[in-house]
Structure 1
Amino acid sequence: MIYLYGAGGHAKVVIEILERQKKEIAGLLDVNTEIKSLLGYPVSQFIPANESATDFKMIICIGKNEIRKKRAGEIKVNYGQAIHPSANLSPRASIGEGTVIMAAVTVNCNAVVGRHVILNTNCTIDHDCIIEDYAHISPNAALAGKTMVGEGAHVGIGACVIQDIKIGKWATIGAGAVIIDDVPDYAVVVGNPGKIIKYNY
């Protein structure tokens, strides 16, 4: 049994993944008291008092990496995973708790994916990549072998990263960017080839 925290657009995708996995969704939690249901599942502000924290798992369905990290630090429960059946995962890859892997994602041999990561539709994580906690790899982004993506970093839609690149923590890679050099912590990089335009301070 799984509860989802957050009742926005990201939660819709996670719901359908869990349905495809035939996992039981107990309901959703959201601070917005005006949201009563999502895709037919009840939304409330609290887990029912009769539910023990050992009886269920949770997935945080919030797209913003920094908020997802904050909530994961606040909510002390067991976390599940949502992995779309069409994802192609190497049996030698490692996937952390709370992570969501969407349709047509590929994760290749010896890749390590951390906790509460989002691997979005059709992205590619090649061999020996390391994706640290709370990162988000957007749809159609491609990471070549031995790429490292730091905590909370966001790789934008359609971005391409060559092999052996390190993307720093809480960095942002713009949509369609081509990354051929290491990216420092907190840097915002856009273009082809990618150039730093500012920092996320």
Structure 2
Amino acid sequence: MTTLFFSDYEAGETGAPLVIFGAGGLGREVLLLIRQLNASHPTWDVRGFYDDVAPATPTLAGLPYLGTSADLNATAEPLAVAVAVGSSASRAAVVSRLSSPHLSFPALVHPQVVLGPEQRIALGEGCLVQQGCILTCDISLGRFVLLNLGCTVGHDAVLEDFCSLMPHANVSGAARLAAGCYLGTNATVIQGVRVGEGSIVGAGAVVVRDLPPHVTAVGVPARALKVEDK
């Protein structure tokens, strides 16, 4: 995985074409994020939405539905893509299908989220960081990590590829979330705790000890309900 410190990213050229994969509610929220970015620094020309399941209407939030992942792979021009799929596993599956060399996946961070060079925040491609998030310092976010509204991430935390934090989830200092972890709304992982690959932490749960891979954990303190079949 290649990551760059956030300060190494440069804003794209004005009018750079971008599409959103995901024609549901999160897709419309990501469209709002992009419009908020454009209001701060005009960068993206948003062309519309793609999804492998066609929406009920031909337009969403004033933009057209453009087709499936196969249609997107057929693009003949350089095109930025925001993958707006909330499920970690589903987002990874979508990314695996988007194979065209013309596609790129910029990190999109709300303009009011503070990320300065002194914080040493590393981001992988395709990260989405929504309004109200707070990240402190020496943090690594892998590829296609989603931080929904109002999340917090403490010092030395590591969130590996395709992790998903729903609104107001909290990851404390030196915690580590393995690839594909999903934290529900208001879930908390306390300092130094590790959450195994593909595990799901339910809404409002508090993880106070390490969790193994591929479990669903709920409650305060969080306890695993089951081991999911692989």
TM-score normalized with structure 1 length? 0.93
Secondary structure at 1:140 match in 2:
coil
Is 1:161 paired with 2:189?
yes
Change (3 A) 1:147 1:50: closer
Structure 2 unmatched ranges of 5 or more:
1-16, 39-43
State the alpha-carbon separation in 2 of the partners of residues 48 and 189 from structure 1: 37
Aligned partner of 1:143 among 141, 165, 171: 171
Please list the CA deviations of residues 120-160 of structure 1 after superposition, one character each: whole Å capped at 9, or x if unmatched: 11010111111011110111111110110111110111112
Matched, 1:176 2:197: no
Query: Does 26-35 or 156-165 show the bigger shift?
Result: 26-35
Higher alpha-carbon deviation: 78-87 or 158-167: 78-87
Decide which of 49, 64, 67 is 2:87's aligned counterpart. Answer: 64
Structure 1 stretches (4+) deviating beyond 6 angstroms? none
Q: What does the per-residue CA deviation read over 1:30-80, in whole Å, with 9 as the maximum and x for residues that have no partner? A: 23344411111111113496742xx22111111121111011111122112
Residues 147 and 43 (structure 1 numbering): CA distance in 2 closer, same or farther, change over 3 Å? same
Matched residue type, 1:109: C
Correspondence 1:73 to 2:96: yes
Q: Give the whole-Å Cα distance in 2 for the aligned partners of 1:37 and 1:3.
A: 13
The one-letter code sitting in structure 1 at the alignment partner of 2:110 is H
Pairwise CA RMSD: 1.6
- The residue type equivalent to 2:61 in the other structure is L
Q: Give the direction of change, closer, same or farther, for the CA distance of 1:47–1:69 in structure 2 (3 Å limit).
A: closer
1:152 is matched with 180
Aligned pair 1:31/2:52, yes or no? yes
The 2-side partners of 1:107 and 1:200 are apart by 31
SS of 2:104's equivalent in the other structure is coil
The question of whether the paired residues in 1 share the 8 Å contact of 2:73 and 2:98 is answered with: no
Q: Distance in 2 between matches of 1:50 and 1:62?
A: 21
Structure 2 match to 1:106: 134
- Partner Cα distance (1:161, 1:48) in 2: 37
* Residues 156 and 173 in structure 1, CA contact (< 8 A), matched pair in contact too: yes
- The match for 2:121 is 93
Corresponding position: 1:116 with 2:144: yes
Letter of the structure 2 residue corresponding to residue 108 of structure 1 = T
Number of the residue aligned with 2:3: none
User: Which sections of structure 1, spanning at least 5 residues, go unmatched?
Assistant: none
SS of alignment partner, residue 88 of structure 1: coil
Cα separation, partners in 2 of 1:152 and 1:162, compared to 1, 3 Å: same
TM normalised by structure 2 equals: 0.82
More helix by share: 2
- Report SS of the residue matched to 1:73: helix
Asked if 2 retains the 8 angstrom alpha-carbon contact of 1:170 and 1:200, the reply is no
Which whole-Å CA distance do the structure 1 matches of 2:157 and 2:74 have between them? Answer: 41
Code of the residue aligned with 1:154 in structure 2: it is Y
